Amino acid sequence: MSVICLGEILYDLIADQSDRAMEQVTSWTTYAGGAPANVACGLRKLGINSAFIGCVGKDQPGEQLIALLDALGVDTTGVQYHATLPTRQVYVTRDAGGDRHFAGFGGRKTTDFADTALNADLLPENLFKNADYLVMGTLGLAYSPARAAMMRALELAKIYAVKVLIDINWRPVFWPNLEVAPDQIRDFIVQADLLKCSEEEAAWLFGTDTPREISSQYPNLEAILVTRGAKGCKYHLGENSGTVEAFSGEVVDTTGAGDGFVAGFLARAALEGDQIGENADLARKAVIYACAVGAMVTRGAGAIASQPTREQVEEFLAALDS
């Protein structure tokens, strides 16, 4: 299986001191991040072919991030470089429980970064010919050039029968105009095949966090995954609905946990295909696997650095069964 992940790649500057306001943090540690890039890396660690499409600056941070993707075996032929806009960096504070809060862009406006300028005309059509899934968030919808590129990606996905998974990944700090966001995101979801969101995002956009009720609003969706943090996940896959409890354990940093979840779910989809939606047991096992990957990401710092390999996930699950 092959998965295209389109969107932002950036550096998370994560506060070393938890439970402090941004101005009270005295030091930060830099980690590679950006939800679509996180998913691409998570998939490679789980043994799945992935490609990343996004735009970075012609600067050292951009070069370092793409070098990281290359080192993990992610296909980077779809990466674009902007001549003047820099690679994005976002400051992230953490509360006492490890949950993250996006605190801004170091004095820059959200529109002043290369990822906003992804060019629709430069998307590599060849990647779509061999892909099975296209993964996108919604942050790019906030910026006209990136939004046009995302719409072009949807067109290519339809041409080549590529299934589309959308992770809402709601981050208000990224949006210059918050008022237009809900309608743009809902229109985007109409064109998807699979949806992943948090329970807070579901309640905000759909008025319910129950996957079956969301399915009645969006009959185009064959899979709906509503993550609930420490409470696990609710799902509706085909005609199979259920709840999976979260895995207990010490939480160091929740950054990238949802992206690990997406990578884990698609890794199971690679094995089971459409049977995930047709077989209740396989559906539940796919969500358990996804929850396991997400949980393992929270045990270390950084979204990519803490991602597990396929072997590590299998050992984690086997230890629970023994």
With a cut of 50, list the residues of the chain below it in pLDDT.
none
Q: What does the block give as tokens for 58?
A: 């012609």
What is the CA angle 247-251-254, rounded to 5?
Answer: 95
Kindly give the residue spans of alpha helices, DSSP state H, lying in the chain: 35-45, 60-72, 125-129, 144-159, 181-189, 199-206, 211-217, 257-272, 275-278, 280-297, 310-321
The answer for residues whose C-beta is within 8 angstroms of residue 145's C-beta and 6 or more apart is 116, 117, 118, 119, 120
What length is written for the chain? Answer: 322
Which pLDDT does position 276 carry in this prediction? 85
- Residue 307 host element (H or E): none
User: What is d(CA 153, CA 159) in angstroms, rounded to the nearest whole number?
Assistant: 10
**61 phi/psi in degrees, rounded to 5:** -55, -40
Which pLDDT does position 142 carry in this prediction? 97
User: What is d(CA 86, CA 82) in angstroms, rounded to the nearest whole number?
Assistant: 8
Q: What does the block give as tokens for 2?
A: 């092959």
Which pLDDT does position 23 carry in this prediction? 82
User: What is d(CA 176, CA 39) in angstroms, rounded to the nearest whole number?
Assistant: 25
CA dihedral 11, 133, 269, 47 (to 10 degrees): -50
Which pLDDT does position 322 carry in this prediction? 63
Report how far apart, in Å, the C-alpha atoms of 249 and of each of 291, 292, 297 are. 13, 11, 11
User: What is d(CA 30, CA 13) in angstroms, rounded to the nearest whole number?
Assistant: 5
Report how far apart, in Å, the C-alpha atoms of 166 and of each of 15, 92, 133, 136 are. 28, 23, 10, 5
Q: What does the block give as tokens for 301?
A: 């710092």
Q: Identify the CA nearest to 198 among candidates 228, 163, 218.
A: 228
* CA 53 distance to own-chain centroid: 13
DSSP code per residue over 46-115: TT-EEEEEEEEESSHHHHHHHHHHHHHT-EEEEEEEESSSPPPEEEEEE-TTS-EEEEESTT--TTSSGG
Partners of 31 in the beta sheet? Answer: 12
* Helix, strand, or coil (residue 141): helix
User: What is d(CA 193, CA 282) in angstroms, rounded to the nearest whole number?
Assistant: 19
Partners of 90 in the beta sheet? Answer: 12
Which pLDDT does position 143 carry in this prediction? 98
Please say whether the beta carbons of 8 and 139 come within 8 A. Answer: yes
Whole-prediction pTM: 0.94
Please say whether the beta carbons of 77 and 123 come within 8 A. Answer: no
